[in-house]
Amino acid sequence: MEFNAALFHEFAEALNSENGYRLAKTLSPDIPNERLRAIFRSQNAHSIKNALKRGLQGNAALTLDHQTVQGWVEIYAAYWNATGVILTARESDNDSSKSSNLVWTKVYEAWTELLNALLRGYQTFGFEAFTIPCLYVVCKHLRAFAIQADEERNRNAPFDNGATAFQDDFDPETNKHQKLEDCARVLSRVFMVCQTDRAPLEESRKWGSYYIANLLLKTYFKLNSASLSKNILNSLRAGGRDMPDFSLFPKSQQVTFKYHEGVLAFLEENYIQAEECLTEAWNLCHKNAMKNKELILTYLIPCHLIKSHTLPTEKLLEPFPRLQKLFLPLCRCIKRGELHKFDLALQEGEDEFVKRRIYLTLERGRDIALRNLLRKVFIARGFEEAKEGEKPVRRTRVPVAEFAAAISLGSQENIDNDEVECLLANMIYKNHMKGYISRQHGIVVLSKSGAFPGTGV
């Protein structure tokens, strides 16, 4: 929207109807070049503030106090300034010959100015809470610009390191995410501005907490500093009493938050909590949000594997070709107890698993594969000679050598009895198998009632 009557009209309309999302649209950089150019050309640096002041104040339908107008003038002036910088950046992206002078860094800086102006609106000019979607839009793009600025800088000077003079050692990672780290700091300030608002709930900025928290968590994930995320979760938890009920926030924010909370628990190997959060996210997720559902399942499936030893059905995975490729080969091997093939499948998908941080969890699926193999041995041994009129009882004394044969066959490796015993001891220790090993006799004595808990035998 050009910076003339059109903007002022839209501004007044949005403010009058208390429509924060409509208002936020006037601050979006996510518009085609021509429109950006139209905005930028509709004003000039010398007269913009006065023009804005007149325009924003002059609307008869609005009665804004001097301070509020002042705040918005600063914001739109900063926005206008940013449009110019963004235009230059976009143009130089298309023209590869000029792309060396860090244009996106300038965009990031200009955009930070806008965010600062906006924050001042809340901190000193008393902006109303319904305008927080403006914060959403500005913060969301700040993160995007930070990433772009970092990429651009790393492309141009991958190892330029200016800030080393006072350190004993240099850190090659320092500069890699310079702007994104800065962005995380800025966002956490925004988060606090939302979180610490003491106005009554109906008009509190606390309603913005989860959106900003989600952005922050996303940023921390990208920065690989999951530990910082803890602070956000703690802060939200600590403010629990004064916060609006979680279920009152938009569902989209709930899903994203629960997903992040779940993945964090997953990374800490707290599979109980991870399963809980991810299940919640799964249930709340919009049925057509396939990308999100895929992300949730990526962590929920390994959770189930570890916790309840259940595998996804083919029907569940049907709409997700990527997940099929990721999980199905592994699942088949686990089900059939094929150790060697399991190892191969794990190796096959290793890069992808490691990238998604699920390798170390899936690896433990081997235990389930092994249990299934041992269970086969147990079943193959059949029953004791049945006495008349009684239920047949399985033969529960299994020579270690039989298990050893099965394991050696299954893993296609020659494994000595001591190692087999070690594996069996593990099964028993982890409650995959009930019974004990008698080293003296070289046999495993399995429980008569449920030798393999949870599997029906």
- Which residues would be at the binding site for another protein (CB under 8 A)? 45-47, 49-50, 67, 70, 74, 113, 116, 119-120, 123-125, 159, 161-173, 189, 224, 226, 267-269, 351, 354-355, 357, 359-360, 363-364, 366-367, 418-419, 421-426, 428-430, 436-439, 445
Contact 38/26 with Cβ under 8 angstroms?
Answer: no
Cα 103 from Cα 131, distance rounded (Å): 30
H/E element, 435: strand 435-438
Closer CB to another protein, 225 or 455, in the complex? 225
> 84-91: long-range contacts at Cβ-Cβ below 8 A with a sequence spacing of 24 or more?
84/40, 85/110, 86/29, 86/36, 86/110, 87/33, 87/36, 87/37, 87/40, 90/33, 90/36, 91/33
H/E element, 359: helix 359-362
Closer CB to another protein, 35 or 439, in the complex? 439
Sort strands 435-438 and 397-399 into parallel, antiparallel or unpaired.
unpaired
CB of 426 vs another protein, minimal distance in Å: 4
Closer CB to another protein, 128 or 419, in the complex? 419
CB of 315 vs another protein, minimal distance in Å: 31
CB of 57 vs another protein, minimal distance in Å: 15
Length of the chain: 457
CB of 431 vs another protein, minimal distance in Å: 9
Closer CB to another protein, 360 or 393, in the complex? 360
CB of 187 vs another protein, minimal distance in Å: 13
**DSSP class of residue 386?**
P
CB of 418 vs another protein, minimal distance in Å: 6
Cα 258 from Cα 251, distance rounded (Å): 10
Closer CB to another protein, 268 or 318, in the complex? 268
Closer CB to another protein, 125 or 207, in the complex? 125
Cα 418 from Cα 208, distance rounded (Å): 59
